[in-house]
Amino acid sequence: MRAYWELAKGGYRRYARYRTAILAALIANGAFGFIRASLLMTAITTAGAAVGGYDLKQASTYVWLGQGLLGAIPLWGATEIATRVKSGEIAMDFLRPVAALGQWWAADLGRAASQVIPRLVPMLVVGTLTTGLALPRHPLPYLLFVVSLVLGVSLTFLAWTLVNLLAMWVVEIRGYHALFMIVMNLLTGLLVPVSWFPGWLRTLADATPFPSMFQTPIDVVMGLAGLEAIGVQAVWLVALVGVAQLMLHRGTRKLVIHGG
Amino acid sequence: MADARAQTRTPVDLAPVTWWFMVRTMVGARIRAQAGFRSSFAADLASQLLLAATEFVEIYVLLHNAPVFGGMNLAQATVVYGLACVAFGVADMLFGQLDSMHSFIREGRLETLLVRPTSLLLQLVTADVQLRRLGRAAFGLAAYLFALSICGVEWTPDKIALAALAPVGGILIFGALFLASGSLHFWVLDGQQAGNAFVYGGRYVSSVPAGALMTPVRVFFTFVVPATLVAFVPSAVLVDAPLPEFTTAGMAWLGIPVGLALWAVVLLVWRAGIRRYTGAGG
């Protein structure tokens, strides 16, 4: 357990150092936040009533929480594991006395922790000062949020790990990476909340783990979702860990690393 | 093989390499390389198409909930989306490479380009012409033409001219934004995301009915980053949709002049950046 904790701390320190990158990301998240908030709020104003369970203030809150969490939740994915497969460095990960999946997972949770405060707080300040926020006044949603966020980050990490592990079978994963990102952008609720979707698309989204990655933590802190949604996240977590382990098990038997 | 050899210059043929010959050789090599890996190219093209379609789903979902959005119905919003998609797709194919300026600088690869006796910009642009990005442009063009055909546009000579010229203006504007974002890296190496805010934020704004944006956001993305001039304003004039405040019908024609002016300014910044660049040694 100690090893995982140290790996998480390493991940934290590695990403907390890039201060200019964090500032640049804030500018980007802020600009997109204003565009997204405009679109959702205009849709609600035009419709004349709450859309998909969100009123004006809630839509604004949804956008700014989402923009703030883009740092922690790695929606745009990483290719680090695939690169390690290609270069052979993955052999090092297997040689260590702790599970490979656990190492990567711990490091990613550390990375996520380094991004929560510097990315979320400024976005909430911007939101409060401009389009307004509606956050609950009692502590329970915030406690549930911590759990839901850890689950959301883990699910996103695991989903990307599955895509990366494909590198054990195919040479180039760029195409899969691109396709996966497209599906993810839509079905996580990043562009528009999943509850705004027309029926068929909503059914499709709800049958995937994607809403559990991004929309669920946001809905939980807003008090729009609770333990049930967290339970769904937990089920998906077990499923994805299972698939990842299976892929690692099969893949390592097949993988040949050249050189020494 | 014989053909390829005929095109290659022999040592005897020492006349200066023309600009056109160089561009043709470099772009030709890129295109042949990509067409060589058929299945990978097909998957890339398909994912670009799917990406464009997914972005359209967002607009569809918004209009599903608010049938008149920013003064436009679904068909009219599709005109905006399609036009923006064509302009961005072509600009991305030509200038998208400038997005990776930071890795050129960080890995010291910029020096190898700088010592060659031709323009840096030309080398960067021809280094990685991504044909797959045509997938998006093709989807956009289809959406643009189809949506125009169902909007019941009363075609007049000036509307036909506007419909044909608008994509050119959009390509110029997005190209300049890519170059501006690439120039930024001469000053801030970790600032890629800030440049993205304007390029990709501009793309996002250009593809939606901008009448739906909050006034300050719309004013910024019209008069500072001219994203609404790419598609929304020309489309609104083409389909006779209402224009929001601070926007006039005459602005529909501003795409090309604004694009050219932006290029002039950004090229100066780019030159200043190259002059300032000192390399990382090595």
Tokens representing B157? 């000579």
* Contacts A185 to B, Cβ<8 Å: 54
Q: Is A31 on the interface with B (CB under 8 A)?
A: yes
Beta carbons within 10 angstroms of residue A15's beta carbon? 20
Q: Which residues of B touch A (CB under 8 A)?
A: 40, 43-44, 46-47, 50-51, 54-55, 57-58, 61-62, 64-66, 68-70, 188-198, 200-201, 204-205, 208, 212-214, 216-217
Where does A197-253 show beta strands of DSSP type E? none
- Please give the pLDDT value at position B2: 46
The interface pTM score, or ipTM, of the predicted complex is 0.84
Beta bridge mates, B69: B72
Is pLDDT at B7 greater than 70 in this prediction?
A: no
Which one-letter DSSP state was computed for residue A190? Answer: S
Q: Is A52 on the interface with B (CB under 8 A)?
A: yes
Q: What backbone phi and psi angles, to 5 degrees, belong to A205?
A: -65, -40
Q: Is A54 on the interface with B (CB under 8 A)?
A: no
Query: What end-to-end distance do the CA atoms of chain B give, in Å?
Result: 39
Residue B9 — pLDDT band, cuts 50, 70, 90?
Answer: low
Rg (Cα) of chain B, in Å, rounded? 21
Does A185 sit within 8 Å of B50, measured CB to CB?
no
CA distance B236 to B210: 10
- Please give the pLDDT value at position A22: 85
Calculate how close chain A gets to B205, using CA atoms only, in Å.
7
Tokens representing A138? 């009692």
Calculate how close chain A gets to B65, using CA atoms only, in Å.
7
Beta carbons within 10 angstroms of residue A8's beta carbon? 21
Q: Is A172 on the interface with B (CB under 8 A)?
A: yes
Neighbouring residues of B173: CB distance < 8 A, sequence distance ≥ 6 = B87, B91, B202, B226, B227, B229, B230, B255, B258, B259, B262
- Please give the pLDDT value at position B1: 43
Q: What is the pLDDT of residues B86-111, one digit of tens each?
A: 999 999 988 888 877 877 887 777 88
Nearest Cα residue in chain A from B51:
A182
Does A201 sit within 8 Å of B197, measured CB to CB?
no
Nearest Cα residue in chain B from A34:
B217
Selected residue of A39, A173, A191 to mutate for chain B interface (largest B Cβ count, 10 A): A39
Of B179, B207, B201, residue with least CA distance to B87:
B207
Give the torsion through C-alpha atoms of A72, B85, A54, A204, to 10 deg: -80
Task: Identify whether the C-beta of residue B229 lies closer than 8 Å to the C-beta of residue B258.
Answer: yes
SS3 B173: helix
Nearest Cα residue in chain B from A17:
B190
* Contacts B65 to A, Cβ<8 Å: 43, 47, 51-52, 196
Tally helices (H) and strands (E) across chain A: 11, 0
- Please give the pLDDT value at position B80: 96
Q: Is A25 on the interface with B (CB under 8 A)?
A: yes
- Please give the pLDDT value at position A93: 85
Does A21 sit within 8 Å of B193, measured CB to CB?
yes
Residue B35 one-letter amino acid: A
Calculate how close chain A gets to B243, using CA atoms only, in Å.
16
- The beta-carbon neighbor of B62 closest among A31, A183, A192 is A192
Task: Identify whether the C-beta of residue B30 lies closer than 8 Å to the C-beta of residue B128.
Answer: yes
Query: How would you write the pLDDT of chain A (260 residues) with one tens digit per residue?
Result: 888 888 888 888 888 877 888 888 899 899 999 999 999 999 999 988 888 889 999 999 999 999 999 989 988 877 888 888 888 888 888 888 888 889 999 999 999 999 999 999 999 999 999 998 989 999 999 999 999 999 999 999 999 999 998 888 887 777 788 888 888 888 998 889 999 999 999 999 999 999 999 999 999 999 898 899 999 999 999 999 999 999 998 988 887 776 54
- The beta-carbon neighbor of B65 closest among A20, A30, A43 is A43
- What is the residue whose two structure tokens read 């290719």? A79
Q: What is the pLDDT of residues B187-213, one digit of tens each?
A: 877 767 777 788 889 999 999 999 999
Calculate how close chain B gets to A175, using CA atoms only, in Å.
6
Nearest Cα residue in chain A from B187:
A20
Does A30 sit within 8 Å of B61, measured CB to CB?
no
* Contacts B57 to A, Cβ<8 Å: 186, 201
Task: Identify whether the C-beta of residue B80 lies closer than 8 Å to the C-beta of residue B72.
Answer: yes
- Please give the pLDDT value at position B162: 94
Q: Is A132 on the interface with B (CB under 8 A)?
A: no
Does A21 sit within 8 Å of B198, measured CB to CB?
no
Instruction: Look at the pTM and tell me if it is higher than 0.95.
Output: no
SS3 A191: coil
Calculate how close chain B gets to A21, using CA atoms only, in Å.
5
Beta bridge mates, B72: B69
